């Protein structure tokens, strides 16, 4: 018998399968009950455009409130199913972070499907200080390299951002300077949860030495992720003339076990911390020789990380202190030897850091963004990812 062709919502607007408005739409407690649509917002300016869409500064017409709106277009992609998964993952992780009042993730206020331009929209807290990559790039252009105390501060803040996200039950899998924002007070906030993955607790603990349980009862390193849902990255050049971080969706901060698609754990995010630390102290990127280095070559380099790390440390543009080298080697290391947040916090590199103050966001940041007018995008580079 011929199937009866019911003109479903999904067919009408070509929504990827198994995702309806009910699955995606969301409003945070205290916001309007009514799910907004794009016409409820005035677009003020574009902050960044990434591989899957754009981020705008918007004003909610009814309240005049300013938000960041991330628009993820799925119909332009050759793989709408992938975009659907990323959008849903991002939304789900943001909801949990918002409900737990995380200060290290942008709060999500609304999520809605836009039927007209076939997009997923995330309306979130606008983090006004710009992304960390743009800040680093500006410092480099100003010939004003980071001082050790600044590096310690930002790396300590990043440890807390990652730990916080893990404790809420997620791996990030795409920790990199472009996905770190500086808030209005100068503290770091982790964003872009499109590659994140909910942690599935495994028992007995299988990898690593174990770290403290988070509020959700996830038992640290015992939580492992299988390789069947690797994060997806793209490789568009962002700024070919820029010798700093030049790739959108770059795999250059990805842990070797993620690149190789084997079972991995929370520790993959701490490899990324090590790659960022190297970049800050050395003044050059790890595993990327030049802006022309292809994604494939970066992956190969990560696979050959042992030899390349030795060369990178010995040939660094800027001298690397022994204590920084030691931490880098503890992080850019095989997973079974890599240290987790407990040991990272005790590492001599962080001597003098008051972790409680970092956690409570009361350590004074070395840089506070100028009070921002939402129409001023000077802290952002167009095309930030």
Annotated binding site for ATP: 70
Residue from 98, 118, 179, 245 in contact with ligand ADP (CB under 6 A): 179
Structure tokens at 44: 């003020």
In the complex, the smallest distance separating the C-beta of residue 165 from Mg ion, rounded to whole angstroms, is: 14
Among 51, 115, 202, 234, binds ligand ADP (CB under 6 A): 51
CB of 116 to ligand ADP, least distance (A): 21
Residue with smaller CB distance to ligand ADP, 190 or 281: 190
Candidate segments 30-38, 135-143, 176-184, 367-375, binder of ligand ADP by CB under 6 A: 176-184
Q: Please report how the helices 267-282 and 322-331 are oriented relative to each other, as an axis angle in degrees rounded to 10.
A: 150
Backbone angles phi, psi at 382, to 5 degrees: -65, 135
| Catalytic status, residue 174 | yes
* 131 in contact with Mg ion (CB under 5 A): no
Identify the three-state secondary structure at position 184: coil
For residue 122, the SS3 value is: strand
CA atoms of 48 and 384, how far apart (whole Å): 5
Binding residues: 70
For residue 256, give the H/E element and its range.
helix 256-259
Whole-angstrom Cα distance, residue 58 to residue 28?
17
Give min distance, CB of 330 to ligand ADP, in A.
28
Please pick, among 174, 192, 269, 340, the residue that the annotation labels catalytic: 174
255 binds, among Mg ion, ligand ADP, none (CB under 5 to 8 A by kind): none
Among the listed ranges 74-82, 165-173, 175-183, 284-292, the one in contact with Mg ion (CB under 5 A) is 175-183
Q: How far apart are the first and last CA of the chain?
A: 50
* Euclidean distance between CA atoms 321 and 145, whole angstroms: 15
Q: What angle is formed at CA 59 by the lines to CA 57 and CA 65, rounded to 5 degrees? A: 115
Query: Using CB under 6 A as the criterion, which residues of the chain lie in contact with ligand ADP when the complex forms?
Result: 47-48, 50-52, 55, 68, 70, 106, 124-127, 131, 178-179, 181, 191-192, 194, 380, 384-385
List residues with catalytic annotation.
Answer: 174
């Amino acid at each position: 018998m011929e199937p009866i062709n019911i003109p479903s919502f999904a067919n009408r607007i070509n929504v990827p399968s198994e995702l309806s408005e009910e699955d995606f739409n969301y409003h945070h407690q205290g916001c309007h009950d009514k799910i907004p649509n794009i016409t409820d917002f005035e677009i003020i300016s574009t902050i960044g455009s990434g591989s899957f869409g754009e981020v705008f500064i918007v004003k909610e017409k009814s309240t005049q409130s300013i938000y960041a709106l991330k628009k993820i277009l799925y119909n332009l992609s050759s793989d709408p199913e992938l975009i659907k998964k990323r959008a849903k993952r991002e939304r789900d992780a943001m909801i949990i972070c918002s409900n737990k009042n995380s200060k290290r993730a942008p709060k999500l206020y609304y999520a809605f499907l836009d039927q007209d331009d076939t997009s997923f929209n995330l309306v979130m807290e606008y983090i006004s200080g710009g992304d960390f990559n743009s800040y680093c790039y500006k410092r480099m252009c100003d010939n004003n390299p980071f001082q050790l105390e600044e590096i310690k501060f930002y790396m300590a803040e990043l440890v807390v951002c990652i730990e916080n996200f893990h404790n809420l039950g997620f791996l990030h899998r795409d920790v990199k300077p472009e996905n770190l924002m500086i808030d209005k007070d100068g503290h770091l906030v982790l964003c872009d949860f499109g590659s994140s993955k909910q942690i599935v607790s495994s028992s007995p603990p299988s990898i690593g030495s174990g770290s403290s349980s988070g509020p959700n009862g996830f038992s640290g390193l015992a939580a492992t992720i299988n390789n069947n849902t690797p994060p997806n990255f793209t490789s568009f050049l962002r700024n070919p003339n820029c010798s700093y971080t030049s790739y959108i969706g770059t795999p250059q901060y990805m842990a070797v076990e993620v690149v190789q698609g084997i079972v991995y754990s929370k520790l993959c995010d701490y490899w990324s911390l090590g790659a960022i630390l190297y970049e800050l102290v050395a003044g050059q990127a790890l595993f990327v020789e030049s802006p022309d280095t292809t994604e494939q070559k970066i992956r190969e380099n990560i696979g050959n990380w042992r030899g390349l790390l030795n060369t990178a440390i010995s040939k660094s543009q800027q001298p690397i202190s022994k204590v920084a080298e030691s931490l880098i080697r503890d992080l850019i290391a095989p997973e079974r030897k890599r240290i987790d947040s407990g040991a990272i916090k005790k590492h001599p590199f962080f001597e003098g850091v008051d972790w409680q103050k970092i956690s409570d966001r009361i350590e004074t940041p070395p840089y506070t963004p100028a009070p921002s007018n939402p129409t001023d995008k000077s802290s952002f580079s167009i095309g930030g990812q």
